[in-house]
Amino acid sequence: MPDFKIIYTDVINEKFPEKINDPVIITKLNALNTAVDVLKFNALIFGQPDHTVRLRSQRLRSYDESSILEILNYQKKNNLTNTETANHFRISRNTITKWKSIYQSKLSSSF
C-alpha cells in the first residue's frame, strides 16, 4: 500500500497550506491505515465530490482485506441490507454480495 501520509502531506502543503496545522487533520493523517480511512480523509480535505466526479472515480477504487471486513462488520453491526450498505459506502451491492461470500468465514469468526 502506498504511503498516503507522505502523499497527502504534499497535497495539503501545496493546495491547502492553512489546513496543515489543524489538529484534526494531523491526527487523521497519522491514522491512514486502510482504504476506508483514505476515503474518509479525502472527503475531509476536498469535501464531497460532485456526481460526475464520483461516478468516474468509483471505478478506480480498490479495497484491502481489512477495509472489506470493516465494511462488512459495519453492515452486520448496524443491521443493514446489502443495498443500504452499498449506498452508504457508494459501492455496488453486487460487490457487497461477492465480498460476503468470499469473507463469510472471517466474518463469523470476528463475532
| Share of residues in the chain with pLDDT > 90 (%) | 22
Cell for 10? Answer: 504534499
Long-range contacts of 54-62 (CB under 8 A, 24+ apart): 54/90, 58/90, 58/91, 61/35, 61/91, 62/35
Q: Are 107 and 76 in contact (CB under 8 A)?
A: yes
- Note the pLDDT tens digit of each residue in 21-73: 888 888 888 888 887 788 788 888 877 665 445 444 555 577 888 889 989 99
Which pLDDT does position 55 carry in this prediction?
47
Q: Are 4 and 33 in contact (CB under 8 A)?
A: no
